[in-house]
């Protein structure tokens, strides 16, 4: 079992999330009460020496930290202040209990697949999305897998997602839910102008290439919905499974398996209650 190092704990808070700094300091005090030193830093100023990162905010805060710390092989533990917090492991009222579990080694470290584009210059834990840069026009996007033509989409965009990201934007666009441990990638068109365009699940070791047509407007590419870059309509974007993996700290507790989280967070398969 891979063990955490408590040598340099960084508590990262999101400056844009209300009360995140106060919760970060609360977390720091709880860690100190268990004999663990830590530093509190904003998400705009990461501690490069961190051996363990605790994020305070929503899933976006954790995703941003994962893109920075995954290449450094640093595990991440999330405390949720957002609405859903699908990746986070604790709410505010669970911080004390969670720290106790970390100290008692009641956790596991899960390696999660990431995607890369432009070499490893662009990394994503959830997804890479390519869209047109205007709201009023759709884009024509051509999909190649392992150098072979698959199809072309007239759509608002296309999502390339990891299993971790299958419960995020991909799910909203009609994609399938995938168990995080699967070694696969899902490709989902966004609002395609054809009834035959359906999500496609492929092995993770296959190479995806997306191009557009010269007459289309410029495109935008985003990683995890955050890092956005402009790409030319005649550019070619190659997306692969990255050799870098994110490390997420998962607590050993009841109701913390993937299927239980689906039921709790997304109300998966829960029948509506009868109204009186």
User: Could you give the C-alpha distances from 80 to 89, 130, 276, in angstroms and in order?
Assistant: 7, 28, 34
Domain CATH number, residue 186: 2.60.200.30
Domain CATH number, residue 68: 3.40.50.10330
135 and 209 inside one domain: yes
* pLDDT tier at 132, thresholds 50, 70, 90: confident
Distance CA 101, CA 31 (A): 12
Distance CA 108, CA 32 (A): 22
Q: What is the pLDDT of residue 194?
A: 83
Q: What is the pLDDT of residue 273?
A: 66
Q: What is the pLDDT of residue 270?
A: 67
Q: What is the pLDDT of residue 234?
A: 77
163 and 79 inside one domain: no
Q: What is the mean pLDDT of residues 253-272?
A: 78
Q: Which is more confident, 258 or 65?
A: 65
122 and 235 inside one domain: yes
- The answer to whether residue 2 is domain-embedded is no
Q: What is the pLDDT of residue 62?
A: 96
- The answer to whether residue 164 is domain-embedded is yes
Is 234 known to be catalytic? no
Q: What is the pLDDT of residue 257?
A: 84
Question: Above 60 in pLDDT, residue 88?
Answer: yes
148 and 200 inside one domain: yes
Q: Which is more confident, 83 or 89?
A: 89
- The answer to whether residue 273 is domain-embedded is no
Q: What is the mean pLDDT of residues 115-137?
A: 88
234 and 146 inside one domain: yes
Range of the structural domain that residue 220 is part of: 115-242
86 and 123 inside one domain: no
23 and 69 inside one domain: yes
Tens digit of each residue's pLDDT (9 = 90 or more) over 214-246: 666 678 999 999 989 998 877 899 999 999 999
Q: What is the pLDDT of residue 274?
A: 61
Q: Which is more confident, 75 or 265?
A: 75
- The answer to whether residue 56 is domain-embedded is yes
Q: What are phi and psi of 68, to 5 degrees?
A: -80, -45
151 and 238 inside one domain: yes
Q: What is the pLDDT of residue 43?
A: 94
Q: What proportion of the chain, given as a percentage, has pLDDT over 70?
A: 95
Helix (H) or strand (E) holding 31: helix 20-33
Q: Catalytic: which of 16, 47, 59, 227?
A: 59
Q: What is the pLDDT of residue 276?
A: 54
User: Could you give the C-alpha distances from 145 to 97, 160, 200, in angstroms and in order?
Assistant: 46, 12, 11
Q: What is the mean pLDDT of residues 12-40?
A: 96
CB under 8 Å to 271, separation ≥6 — which residues? none
- The answer to whether residue 247 is domain-embedded is no
Q: What is the mean pLDDT of residues 39-56?
A: 96
123 and 83 inside one domain: no
Q: Which is more confident, 128 or 197?
A: 128
77 and 168 inside one domain: no
- The answer to whether residue 28 is domain-embedded is yes
- The answer to whether residue 4 is domain-embedded is no
Tens digit of each residue's pLDDT (9 = 90 or more) over 5-20: 999 999 999 999 889 9
- The answer to whether residue 275 is domain-embedded is no
33 and 64 inside one domain: yes
User: In b/e form, how buried is each residue of 118-156, taking b as 16+ CB within 10 angstroms?
Assistant: eeeebbbbbbbbbbbeeeeebbbbebbbeeeeebebebb
Arithmetic mean of pLDDT over the chain:
91
Q: What is the pLDDT of residue 214?
A: 63
Q: What proportion of the chain, given as a percentage, has pLDDT over 90?
A: 72
Tens digit of each residue's pLDDT (9 = 90 or more) over 171-199: 999 999 999 999 999 999 999 988 888 99
Structure tokens at 231: 């790409």
Q: What is the mean pLDDT of residues 86-96?
A: 92
70 and 130 inside one domain: no
**What is the tally of structural domains in the chain?**
2
Q: Specify whether the CB–CB gap between 79 and 23 falls below 8 A.
A: yes
CB under 8 Å to 19, separation ≥6 — which residues? 81
**C-alpha Rg value of the chain to the nearest Å:** 20
Question: Above 90 in pLDDT, residue 203?
Answer: yes
Distance CA 90, CA 185 (A): 28
């Amino acid at each position: 079992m891979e063990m955490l190092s408590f040598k340099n704990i960084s508590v990262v808070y999101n400056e844009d999330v209300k009360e995140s700094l106060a919760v970060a300091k609360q977390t720091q005090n709880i860690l100190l009460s268990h004999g663990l030193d830590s530093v509190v830093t904003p998400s705009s100023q990461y501690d490069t020496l961190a051996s363990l990162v605790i994020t305070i905010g929503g899933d976006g805060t954790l995703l941003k930290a994962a893109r920075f710390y995954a290449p450094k092989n640093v595990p991440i533990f999330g405390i949720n202040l957002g609405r859903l917090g699908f990746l986070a492991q604790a709410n505010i009222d669970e911080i004390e209990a969670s720290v106790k579990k970390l100290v008692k080694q009641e956790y596991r470290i899960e390696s999660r697949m990431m995607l890369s584009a432009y070499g490893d210059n662009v990394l994503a834990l959830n997804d890479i999305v390519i869209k047109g840069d205007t709201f009023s026009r759709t884009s024509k996007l051509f999909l190649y897998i392992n150098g072979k033509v698959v199809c072309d989409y007239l759509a608002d965009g296309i999502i390339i997602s990891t299993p971790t990201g299958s419960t995020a934007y991909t799910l909203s666009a009609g994609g399938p839910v995938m168990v995080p441990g699967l070694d696969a990638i899902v490709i989902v068109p966004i609002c395609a102008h054809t009834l035959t365009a359906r999500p496609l699940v492929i092995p993770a070791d296959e190479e995806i290439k997306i191009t557009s047509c010269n007459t289309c407007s410029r495109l935008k590419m985003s990683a995890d919905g955050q890092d956005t870059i402009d790409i030319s309509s005649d550019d070619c974007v190659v997306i692969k499974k990255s050799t870098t993996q994110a490390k997420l700290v998962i607590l050993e507790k009841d109701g913390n398996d993937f299927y239980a989280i689906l039921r709790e967070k997304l109300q998966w398969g829960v029948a509506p209650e009868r109204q009186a």
